[in-house]
Amino acid sequence: MNITVVNTIVSYIATVKVGPNGQTYRLIIDTGSSTTWVGAAKSFLPTNPTTDEPFSLTYGSGTVSGLKSEEILSFSDQLTTKQPIGVASNAMGFDDVDGILGLGPVKLTVGSLEKRPTAEVPTVVDNLFTEKKINNKIVGVAFSPSNQTTSSNGLLTFGGVDNSRFQGPLQWIKRTDSQPASNYFGVNMTITAGKNTIMENSAGIVDTGTTLILISQEALQRYMALIPGSKLETGAASFISMPPSSVASVPVLEFDFGTFKATLNPEQQLLPASQARLFGVSPDKRYSFVNSVGGSFTGGLEFILGQKFLEHYYTAYDASTGAVGIAPHVTPSSAAQGGQAPKSQNPTPPELDPNPTSGASSKSTLSLGFNFTRIRGYSFTILAIGVLYHLL
């Protein structure tokens, strides 16, 4: 089942009806966390609150706490589910949205319930599958770039993928074995900038709730060394800036997943010059969507592929296996939207190599040091960290 979603430049938003009265809420689509909650910008009076089940979550972009409640979620007239959600009484860092639509693996719900910190809470995808509303625990995601502040150019497909939104066969990438990325939709990848390998066979995650393309500090330094005059801005928007004359030096980035290679050309890596004032940065410079994941890691979580990567590739997320599907995307202008998703040629991942090459080692503790950056009413909603329980 296809659901149209809205590109707000820094995040994708799904409009979901909640409760018996069908109040509408704007929720960030987040494959990097798994708890669905409401009540940030617009409050919600819970129908079936569980007063002895307080919940709390810490994200890279803020915090939220409140009570668990069983509510009806309606994505369309044809797609509804009864779902345990969080109803926020306190939310910081989410002024512009009403909450989160958590589409990550169920493991990420562990630690969300204060009195039962080891309990898993079924996700939206889990319950849709249990209720036989969908045949597979798969969500297909079609994002596209936009030069407007809001554009209804995205598509979620619950239960499979939409073949009209990608080219060629969907390639499935096995979940990484490296912690903590393996708690998420985590994969292994090598990044090449031009002819230079800047990050080799490292573990990270694919996350619709993160705006930018985040790589390790060492990889970012290697990337910047190839771009004359590039520097990290320290103002409200911490972009990597460069003089316009250096755009010609920006290397093509290749993301090698083993079974699939993705590329971003220079313009796909850069903030469009027409959007500079919207982000509160100087129109006299150019700015890269590539930035640092924070800290200096030896393995475990060295990159996050966020929205600005995903706007150029169709992706699918299998909650049963943790695998990520990827293929070149088709723009909305040439693809049908809405209604029942066409049956995929390969709706579920094939048998995957149980022993993928992995150069990234596990790491039991991380200090990610993300900053929540607000830009003229917008937010770089870096939500990939999810419940910090999994990083400690």
State the DSSP string of 218-266: HHHHHHHHTSTT-EE--SSS-PEEE-GGGGGGPPPEEEE-SS-EEEE-H
Length of the chain: 392
Q: Is 41 helix (H, G, I), strand (E, B) or coil?
A: coil
Is 157 among the domain residues?
Answer: no
CA distance 310 to 152: 16
377 and 238 part of one domain: yes
Phi, psi values for residue 205, rounded to 5° = -130, 160
Residue 336 has pLDDT above 70, yes or no: no
379: buried, middle or exposed (CB in 10 Å: 19+, 13-18, 0-12)? buried
132 and 196 part of one domain: no
- Residue 344's pLDDT is 40
Cα dihedral: 171, 325, 361, 61 (round 10): 150
What are the C-alpha distances in Å from 225 to residues 201, 242, 304? 21, 12, 21
- Residue 19's pLDDT is 95
Task: Return contacts of 222-230, CB within 8 angstroms, 24+ apart.
Answer: 222/193, 222/196, 222/198, 223/193, 223/198, 223/251, 223/253, 223/290, 226/193, 226/194, 226/196, 226/250, 226/251, 227/251, 227/288, 230/288
Strands 12-18 and 2-7: antiparallel
Range of the domain at 63: 2-140
Distance from the Cα of residue 321 to its chain's centroid: 18
Is 153 among the domain residues?
Answer: no
Active site residues: 30, 207
Cβ atoms of 67 and 84 within 8 Å: the answer is: no
Residue 347 has pLDDT above 70, yes or no: no
- Residue 236's pLDDT is 59
Cβ atoms of 281 and 160 within 8 Å: the answer is: no
217: buried, middle or exposed (CB in 10 Å: 19+, 13-18, 0-12)? middle
250: buried, middle or exposed (CB in 10 Å: 19+, 13-18, 0-12)? buried
210 and 342 part of one domain: yes
Residue 9 has pLDDT above 60, yes or no: yes
Distance from the Cα of residue 285 to its chain's centroid: 27
221 and 344 part of one domain: yes
Is 10 among the domain residues?
Answer: yes
- Residue 295's pLDDT is 63
Buried b (16+ CB within 10 A) or exposed e, 144-163: bbbeeeeeebbbbbbbbbbb
140, 170, 195 - which closes a domain? 140
254 and 346 part of one domain: yes
pLDDT tens digits for range 122-159: 999 999 999 999 999 999 999 999 988 899 999 999 99
Is 151 among the domain residues?
Answer: no
Mean pLDDT of the chain: 85
Is 299 among the domain residues?
Answer: yes
**Domain count within the chain:** 2
Residue 51 has pLDDT above 60, yes or no: yes
pTM: 0.86
Amino acid of residue 247? V
pLDDT tens digits for range 206-246: 999 999 999 999 999 999 999 999 999 876 568 999 999 99
Residue 369 has pLDDT above 70, yes or no: no
CA distance 163 to 170: 9
CA distance 196 to 223: 9
Q: Give the pLDDT band of residue 372 (cuts 50, 70, 90).
A: very low
246 and 385 part of one domain: yes
311 and 210 part of one domain: yes
186 and 135 part of one domain: no
pLDDT tens digits for range 284-324: 999 999 999 986 455 799 999 999 999 999 999 999 999 99
193 and 133 part of one domain: no
CA distance 106 to 318: 11
119 and 16 part of one domain: yes
215 and 357 part of one domain: yes
Distance from the Cα of residue 7 to its chain's centroid: 13
Half-sphere exposure of 227 (CA within 13 A, CB side): 29
Q: What is the CATH number of the domain that holds 29?
A: 2.40.70.10
120 and 183 part of one domain: no
